[in-house]
Structures are given as structure tokens and as C-alpha cells.
Amino acid sequence: MKALSKTELREALVRREPADHKGVFGHVLVVAGSRNMAGAAVLAARAALRSGAGLVTAAAPAGIQAVLAQAAPEALSLGLPENAAGCLRPEGVSRLRATHREAGYSALAIGPGLSRSPDTAKFVLLALSALPLPAVVDADALNILAAQEAAGVRQLMKARKLPCIFTPHPGEMARCLGCDIRRVREDRMASAERLARDWNGVALLKGRGTLVSSGSRTAVNPTGCPGLAKGGTGDVLTGLVAGLWAQMLASGRGRGDLAFWAAALGAWLHGRAGELAEAEKTGYAMTAQDVIAHLPGAFQELL
């Protein structure tokens, strides 16, 4: 295990050419939010926009669609069926399949602020099995998967035939692996590698010394700061990673294991933006929105 160099990460960035148009840089579908957690969807969508993706669609329960449209005007918004509690219902997956046929999404980000409502659990499981999209899976989507039988989740991920990036914090990782959180903290590398192998994807284990593992290759991220220990920063990472991945996939300019490189690049940029935000705002006063605001500075350092 080693830290990836700036040179390696710089090469993972999708280059810009004079004749490029927005279609070259992919279309991110962000599925996030519920009545009481509209902010999570806003943060993930804004981060996807800051990633360099050509287009972003933010899909959320219909009751908060207006909030998303106002808070992230550069993104398209899509209202989906919701239950009485303002959480997604499984019928929404059919709507997403129809819009995917028209829009041609490049990558999916799913989980921030969704809730663990039984309706939403059905939605998440159906979305991961029925939407033919590479997916960044975070937050409540991870918790929903963790609540299923382990063999069933492994079968779902194997049947998808499209890669996933899983972005748990240590508590979520423990739930996903069905173990005590102390075990995760004692051997973070083994935990990340196990999830990557068991769920057939790339695991990004958040925390000090964020780890990115494909199961066979594991790297440690050298950036980050205590100021990132705030609500909402994980939602920013989800949108950022999905946006970087969408560019690699849509442009055809990526190299190697695109899921691994999108996760590694996203972790570095997110951590560096956090450091820049902390330097300006202090670790006490910085927020997730400040991380998004400092992403341009992180990109400039890498370029």
C-alpha cells in the first residue's frame, strides 16, 4: 500500500481539447435526498457540477425538486414518486429507466440523504439491479445494502456486470461487513480489501488516511484534515467521484481501472479542498459548502 503521486493522479484527469463539447464529459445522475435531507442532494449535485462533468441531473422525491432546482441551477432536476414521509418509492426506478434511454447517463451516484424507509430500500435495490449504470454507492444506499442478507448482496453485485464504487465511513463499513467497528479501525486495509472483493467493486474507506482498494490494489490518500469531520462532506465526495468517473467513461480518455482512478482522484481532490478550506475558515468554521468552493484550488494544484 502506498500513496499515489500527483503525477499519477494528474494523468487520471480527463484532458480538455479545444473542440470538446459538454457531451464529451459525461452526464451524472445523482439520486439523493428526502423531505428532511434535501441538503444532501444539493451538496452531491453541486460537487458533481464542480467535478467537470458535462451534465448533471439531480433526481429526488418530487416534494423537494423545487429546492434542488433553485439550489443547483446548472443541474437538471427530476422529481420522483414519494411516499407520505417524503421518501422515494420503488416506482421511481421506471421513471429513471425511461429518462436514461433518452438522456444516456454516464454514471450514477446514489445514497446521500435517501433515508432507510422500506419504500426507499426497495427503490435502492431495484435501482442497482435495473439501471445499467456504473454507480457510486454511499450513505443510506450502503446502509440498505448492509441490512440485506450478505449472500444476496454479493449476488446482486455480481449480476450487475457494471462496476460500483462504495464510499463508507468506518461505521458504515462495519455494517456492510457485519462486524464490530473496532475491527474496522484496527485493520482498515483488510476491511477495504474485503468489501471490494465481496461486493465486486472498489471500496473507498473514509477517515484519516482514506483508503481506496480494488481488492487487489490498495492506495492511501495523503490529503485531508480534521475539518472534514462535518455533516455533508461525504455527500460532496460522492458527487465529486461520480463526476470524475463520468468524464473518464464518456470521453474514452481514461486509463486502467477507471473506478479505482476515479475514487483515488476524488479522494485526493476532496481532501485537498478540505485542507484549503480549513486554512481559510479554520476547522471549526468550515462547512461542506466550503469544500466545494475550494475544489477549483485543488484542481489548480493538480494541473
pTM of this structure: 0.98
Instruction: Please say whether the beta carbons of 110 and 135 come within 8 A.
Output: yes
Per-residue pLDDT tens over the stretch 164-208: 999 999 999 999 999 999 999 999 999 999 999 999 999 999 999
Selection from 176, 178, 154, 155 nearest residue 166 by Cα: 176
Superfamily of domain 23-302: Ribokinase (3.40.1190.20)
Instruction: Please say whether the beta carbons of 166 and 201 come within 8 A.
Output: yes
As averages over each run of 10 residues, the pLDDT of the chain (303 residues) reads: 90 96 98 98 98 98 97 98 98 98 97 98 98 98 98 96 96 98 97 98 97 97 97 98 98 95 98 98 98 98 94
Give the containing element (helix H, strand E) for 144. helix 139-146
**Annotated domain spans of the chain:** 23-302
pLDDT of residue 2: 87
pLDDT of residue 161: 87
Per-residue pLDDT tens over the stretch 280-289: 999 999 999 9
Torsion angle of the four alpha carbons 69, 286, 246, 118, in this order, in degrees rounded to the nearest 10: -70
d(CA 164, CA 168): 13
End-to-end CA distance of the chain, in Å? 25
pLDDT of residue 71: 98
The number of C-alpha atoms within 13 Å of 109 and in the hemisphere containing its C-beta is 41
Q: Strands (DSSP E) along the chain, which ranges? A: 2-3, 27-31, 55-61, 76-80, 107-110, 135-137, 164-166, 202-205, 211-213, 218-220
Give the containing element (helix H, strand E) for 183. helix 181-186
pLDDT of residue 1: 75
